[in-house]
Structure 1
Amino acid sequence: MSTLLDPGRGVIRGEHYLPCRPDEVGWGWLPTAASTPALTVRSGDSVTLDTLSHEGILADQGRDPRAFLAAHGRDDVLRDAIELAESDVVNTDADGPHVVTGPVAVAGARPGDVLRVDIRALDRRVDYGFISNRHGFGALPGEYPLRAAHPWKPDLHPDSGTVSHFCWVEEDGDGGGATGRFRIDELRSASFRLAPFLGLMGVAGPDDAPAHSVPPGPHGGNIDIKHLVVGSSLYLPIRSEGALFFAGDPHFAQGNGEVALTALEASLRATLTLTVVPAQESAGLFGALTTPFGETPEHWIPTGMAASLDEAMRVAVREAIRFLAERFEIPRQSALAYLSAAGDFEVSQVVDGVVGVHCLIPKRDWRTWA
């Protein structure tokens, strides 16, 4: 059985620590400008956040993680998962599924500035997770989930319209990383490399309007960009005093599109550095940034989000053009030509109501322009 990273247990890498407490997390809803910070830090401080997967605690899975895991032969359940499931925190079909940690206020953060989120560490809190296809959602609603019986997917609630594959983690013997695996039949299993990331990171909106956890937007939120692994950064335009950063929806792995509805959902302990980039400085880096923007050692990652995939693509192209034109002072027509030759546009996800497209712009092509 796994060694659990229960609240307060094990390595805590940041200067500050915020666990998942039932009376502080948002279950299905994001912080707003009126939310009370669960933690306040200075710009440049590192924060360790416990993030909790919603898989195994939702109502369509029985809201009893011990029974749900027992059906898969496991008894190693996180204490905060049990506490939240047993709490009186409401989570219905009208709410989002995500358990949201935060908000974290950053002293001095003001609207017009940009919050830089550096992903320093993502420690697995468990060595298992789930991939779920539920309620006729996903890329093929109405076609999936299939209701045919499957001997390797215990279904405690057959009328819920949910099919969940239990996945376990195997460490590679050669030190090359870790693999996720799930059973296909009595003799075979499917496997894939793990690349943990947080699907949900964002800042509060400019007012106190309720913000559902599922659709992403200018605030960030459920953007599900798989490239935001350790060593990457996310830039979020600040929309309220203190920024009020939040995180959740932890993944061990995801393919672009996230076509089943979820990817390998599993709890992570995230250590992040939160830094305020003043408006004047951010303008020199990104131009007039109004949407989330990613960065890895190899790529810049402008994003586009919209109700349709076609429109999300158009938004992403416009944002990539805008970034190149404003950062490097080149004609927009030339930026479009470059993107057509060298920009890789990928589908982030198609399952969150508002769909996402992101672009990978190779930094190596622009080193002489810095």
Structure 2
Amino acid sequence: MKTSRRKFLHRTTQSGLAALSLGGLSANAESLLSPAPDPLDKSIASRVVKPDHVVRSIPENMVYGYFGADVKPVYTVKDGDVVEIQTVNPSGVSRTNPEEFYTKNQLPIDAHAQAVIAIMKTVKPDPSGIRGHMLTGPVYIDGAEPGDSLEIRILDLTFPAGFGVNSVWPGGGGIPDEVKTRETFVYRYDAKRKVAILKEGVEVPLKPFMGVMALSPPPETGRVSSIPPAFFGGNLDIKHLTKGTTLHLPVSVSGGLFTTGDGHGAQGNGEVSGVAIETAITLTVKFIVHKGKTLKLPRAETPTHFIAVGLDKDLNRAMKNALSEAVAFIQTELGFTFNEALSIASTAVDFEVSQVVDQTLGVHAMIPKAIFTTKKFTYW
């Protein structure tokens, strides 16, 4: 039996910087920007892609911390286009003295840093008091309309700077009352070995992904913060959404209005300090509109797994939502009874805590394709 990726979308009903130069980067950091593909690796993740459009991380293309149907798009693309979207990482950089972060941490004020400094001095948060991430967008996808879903194929993720930042602070993270002092940690990248180095003896494998990928919420919600994720995506912080994977989001407004940012060099499930290795990432995606394929919640897919998502302010409810989504997918899309689907979820599906720090908490279900031995799943 052949189960197409389009059927993966079908289940659910309506419910509620200027172009960066390499100057100032080390050779190791520089090689991260355009890693050479492994000639022995024929996987999706190794393909080299050329974008149809480039959305640069310059002040006029940025939005500071929110999504909304009234936010004017900075770029318009067509269904099926490949789009490179540059993002920045302002973690640790103040609006009043943005240069201080770089000098204090002995980081070069190169083209990337200059772009961050310009953005921090120019782009203002929403006057209503909404706060969130520094984001690039929105991008208008021609043909996307309410009731459709948008497939976002993640073709590439590269680093325009050779470092990332993690922080701890009182009141933040998964144990907020136990943190007594604020501290910021700079992780420097070794591109050759693909690790982020905190200090001698601590090396974290680099596995970049975007923390925030969102479409606009419907007009009636107004502007909303980018911090809590929701049915339209946003700050999902699912670490499996790396190069070669796919995210599906429901479309609520004409053009979808795709916005992204909050790049992560690496993250553990839970994101328990409150942030990951926060980093600038250049994201290359292909947008595909699925007409009339309505989704209730985000879904994702990798070459090896389907991913069902549960969200709620209560972690127990987020877990139940993820379980319900996983069981419904196995039952409806793969052709099992409810009881069979629940049995499969219990014996073969891993439920992971995406994050516990974004007001609305996340659990994602990893449904392995390999266990369904009579089915053939197409992918890309």
Matched with 1:165 is 185
CA distance in 2 between counterparts of 1:143 and 1:92 reads 33
Describe how 1:349-364 pairs up with structure 2 within 5 A: 349-364=355-370
Q: Are 2:198 and 1:182 equivalent residues in the alignment?
A: yes
Are residue 17 (structure 1) and residue 33 (structure 2) matched?
A: no
State the alpha-carbon separation in 1 of the partners of residues 106 and 218 from structure 2: 46
Structure 2 matches for 1:105-184, cutoff 5 A? 105-144=140-179, 146-147=180-181, 162-172=182-192, 177-183=193-199
Q: CA deviation at 1:338?
A: 0.3
Matching residue of 1:230: 243
Among candidates 55, 77, 98, match of residue 41 of structure 1: 77
Structure 1: gaps (5+ residues): 148-161, 283-287
Q: CA RMSD of the aligned region, Å?
A: 2.3
Contact 2:305 2:366 in 1 (8 A): yes
**Partner amino acid for 1:116?**
E
Moved more, 96-105 or 37-46: 96-105
Q: Quote how far apart the aligned CAs of 1:96 are.
A: 2.7
| TM-score (normalizing by structure 1) | 0.85
How big is each residue's C-alpha offset from its partner over 1:273-325, in whole Å with a ceiling of 9 and x where there is no partner? 0110122xx4xxxxx63111111100000000100111100000000011111
Counterparts of 1:58 and 1:36 in 2: how far apart (Å)?
26
From 259, 269, 273, give the equivalent of 2:286: 273
> Which residue in the other structure is 2:15 paired with?
none
Deviations 1:31-82 (A, max 9, x none): x2222211111111000001111303245xxx43321121111123423201
Name segments (4+ residues, structure 1) moved above 2 Å.
3-6, 9-13, 56-59, 63-66, 90-97
Contact 2:132 2:225 in 1 (8 A): no
Of 316, 319, 327 in structure 2, the residue corresponding to residue 310 of structure 1 is 316
Please state whether the residue corresponding to 1:265 is helix, strand or coil. Answer: coil
Q: Is this contact kept in 1: 2:165–2:184, CA < 8 A?
A: yes
How far 1:135 sits from its partner (Å)?
4.2
Shift of 1:116: 0.4
Q: C-alpha offsets along residues 192-220 of structure 1, whole Å, 9 cap, x if unaligned?
A: 10000000001011105011010000010
The reply to whether residue 54 of structure 1 matches residue 69 of structure 2 is no
CA distance in 2, matches of 1:212, 1:118: 25
Per-residue CA deviation, residues 173-204 of structure 1 (Å, 9 max, x unaligned), is xxxx5000112xxxx44111000000000101
Partner secondary structure for residue 101 of structure 2: helix
Are 1:369 and 2:363 counterparts?
A: no
| Kept in 2: contact 1:53–1:98 (CA 8 A) | no
Tell me: CA distance 1:317–1:45, structure 2 relative to 1, closer, same or farther (3 Å). same
Question: Which 10-residue stretch deviates more, 34-43 or 250-259?
Answer: 34-43
Q: Is 1:70 the counterpart of 2:76 in the alignment? A: no
Distance 2:94 2:240 in 1: 27
Could you tell me which amino acid in structure 1 is paired with residue 65 of structure 2? G
Instruction: In structure 2, list runs of 5 or more residues that go unmatched.
Output: 1-23, 36-48
Counterpart pick for 1:195 among 188, 203, 207 = 207
Partners of 2:149 and 2:291 within 8 A in 1: yes
One-letter code aligned to 1:182:
L
Deviation for aligned residue 1:88:
5.5
Percent of residue pairs identical: 32
CA distance in 2, matches of 1:10, 1:169: 14
CA contact (8 A) 1:58 1:97 kept: no
Say if 1:92 and 1:119 are closer, same or farther in 2 by CA, change over 3 A: same
State whether residues 125 and 131 of structure 2, in contact with CA within 8 Å, keep that contact through their aligned partners in structure 1.
no
| 3-state secondary structure, aligned to 2:219 | coil
Query: Shift of residue 3 of structure 1?
Result: 6.0
Contact in 1 for aligned 2:212/2:260 (Cα 8 Å): yes
Moved more, 330-339 or 69-78: 69-78
Alpha-carbon distance between aligned partners in 2 of 1:96 and 1:135, rounded to the nearest angstrom: 18
